[in-house]
Amino acid sequence: MTTTPNTSASSSTDAVTPPAAAGRRPAPSCTLVIFGAGGDLTKRLLMPALYNLAVDGLLDAGMKIVGVNHGEMETAAWSKDLKQSLDQFAADKASTFHAGKLDDAAWNWIAQRLQYMAGEFESDDVFNTLKQQIDSAGGGNVIFYLAVSSRFFKPIVERLGKAGLLKEGDNVFRRVVIEKPFGTDLASARDLNAHILTYAQESQIYRIDHFLGKDTVQSILAVRFANALFEPIWRREYIDQVQITAAETIGVEARGQFYEQTGAFRDMLPNHLFQLLGMVAMEPPNSFDAESVRNKKADIFDAMKPLHPDDVVFGQYEKGPAGVGYREEQDVAPNSTTETYAAARVFIDNWRWAGVPFYLRTGKRLKLRRTEISVQLKAVPYRLFRDTPVDQLVPNVLTLRIDPAHGTSFDFNVKVPGPVMQLGAVQSSFDYSNFFAERANVGYETLLYDCMLGDETLFQRADSIETSWAVVEDVLHPKGGAVPVHGYAAGSEGPAESDAMLARDGHTWRPLV
């Protein structure tokens, strides 16, 4: 057991670092510098995740957390503000964050390591101060977390580089974590990568796609590669289609300004949904080391056929059972043509997947919140069941449930008990909570912990980001005019045109029920 140095004026008796969770080693000592210390991401996700890591004893006693933001503020006030947010999340019974309780000892452990630093992201001062402070503490490992608007990515990395803050030494790492959106199309992503890589090595850059922080997403590889049942059928000979859904019930909330520029397609497709697709479609890697996994995923993005505008459907929610239309939302133009729904039909041009459609859809203000992947197998020959109505024969579907349910289900056919041969569709399902203790988890724990350990498996490499944008280039900059945006009622399952796209292939979306 390690004890922490008494670094804070608000010291308490609770400075003992808890023992690490079984089988896991604490991260190496480091300073985490968060740009955007006052922002939503810091309050809602980073601090709760750090708190959870502290509870699990996975942070080193020598850790420091420096929060940089515009505006003067005392560390004590920042700390109080963060604690208030954490208390609020804890009080929220539906929260995945320690619903109902907050452990004072764990919070004090974090609070003792906080330091607030006022500074403008585009002025040199704060970077010089940081350099002095880090050097006078003996240098050491530092993670710079860019929890800021994407327009600050370039200036911050540039200043970090110019101030000498990204220079690594023997056994000393300097890493930069960058949130999405990483560019808005191929040209901007290339430009951003080129700029960043002028000041840092690729191995120092940790590009986050928060979907990869979800246990249920990481489990896709476990389900595929740890079970002999799936691999033989995981190919075009047996799989008819794959559907990947990220349906949300929320609207744009207070993000109208951002969303007007972004839209559902850019916001979700070439990043989150492509990442899910990559996990489902990639070849088995030789090992779980970062490059093996990322190389196999990169192969999938390389093999994706560039999306044609005819292979996407855009929608925008209108007034409906779930509330007002998008155009009536705050900060949204009354004649906006921004899409709040996007569906795409994607093909992977390789040996395993040739001809298998991957249908992707996402949307705001849909009927249900549901993120899931459904792998539908081909039908059996009907001969044996010729006296049975064929529509009773359901296709086998393996569904990997990502959110809000966590688990898998499998649809298959059995004989209905009784004297005649009649088929009945059944579903066998598993929920993580039936087998494993629920863990408080906001989805950033693994990402932060991995970054401290230097494990890049779950982070996006420059080449894959660019290949993903390249796949959607013709949709973002169509030669024949913008992709039409169809209306759908708030609270519905999306625009009818999306159903029509699948109907052309003789397929239907899995209903959102």
166 versus 269: smaller Cβ distance to ligand BG6? 269
Residues with Cβ within 8 Å of residue 467, at least 6 apart in sequence: 298, 301, 302, 304
Q: Residue 180, annotated ligand binder?
A: yes
CA distance 185 to 6: 48
- Minimum separation from the CB atom of position 403 to ligand BG6 (A): 5
CA distance 175 to 187: 24
Q: What is the 3-class SS of 388-426, one letter each residue?
A: CCHHHCCCCEEEEEEECCCEEEEEEEEECCCCCCCEEEE
- Binders of ligand BG6 among residues 288 to 347 (CB under 6 A) are none
What is the per-residue burial (b if ≥16 Cβ within 10 Å, else e) of 257-271? Answer: eebbebbbbbbbbbb
Q: Residue 507, annotated ligand binder?
A: no
Q: Residue 120, annotated ligand binder?
A: yes
Size of the site for ligand BG6 (CB under 6 A): 5
Q: Which residues share a beta bridge with 244?
A: 360, 373
Q: Is 473 in the site for ligand BG6 (CB under 6 A)?
A: no
16 versus 324: smaller Cβ distance to ligand BG6? 324
180 versus 461: smaller Cβ distance to ligand BG6? 180
128 versus 150: smaller Cβ distance to ligand BG6? 150
- Minimum separation from the CB atom of position 445 to ligand BG6 (A): 14
- Binders of ligand BG6 among residues 389 to 428 (CB under 6 A) are 403
115 versus 371: smaller Cβ distance to ligand BG6? 371
Please pick, from the candidates 115, 193, 340, 371, the single residue that binds ligand BG6 as defined by CB under 6 A.
Answer: 371
Q: Residue 367, annotated ligand binder?
A: no
Please pick, from the candidates 240, 248, 466, 493, the single residue that binds ligand BG6 as defined by CB under 6 A.
Answer: 248
Q: What would the x/- binding string for ligand BG6 be over residues 259 to 288, using CB under 6 A?
A: --------x---------------------
Enter the tokens of residue 53. Answer: 């890591």
Phi, psi of 83 (to 5 degrees): -65, -40
Ranked by CB distance to ligand BG6, the top (closest) residue is 267
Q: What is the 3-class SS of 186-247, one letter each residue?
A: HHHHHHHHHHHHHHCCHHHEEECCHHHHCHHHHHHHHHHHCCCCCHHHCCCCCEEEEEEEEE
At 72, which helix (H) or strand (E)?
none
- Minimum separation from the CB atom of position 43 to ligand BG6 (A): 16
The residue among 220, 266, 253, 256 whose CA lies nearest residue 469 is: 266
486 is catalytic: no
Q: What Å distances lie between residue 496 and 476, 486, 488, 489, 499, CA to CA?
A: 22, 8, 8, 10, 5
Q: Residue 121, annotated ligand binder?
A: yes
Active-site annotation holder among 272, 406, 486, 507: 272
Query: Which residue type, as a one-letter code, is found at position 486?
Result: H
Q: Residue 93, annotated ligand binder?
A: no
Residue set of the binding site: 120-121, 180, 210, 214, 248, 267, 364
Residue set of the binding site for substrate: 210, 214, 248, 267, 364
For the annotated catalytic residues, the residue numbers are 272
Chain residues that interact with ligand BG6, rule: CB under 6 A = 180, 248, 267, 371, 403
Residue set of the binding site for NADP(+): 120-121, 180
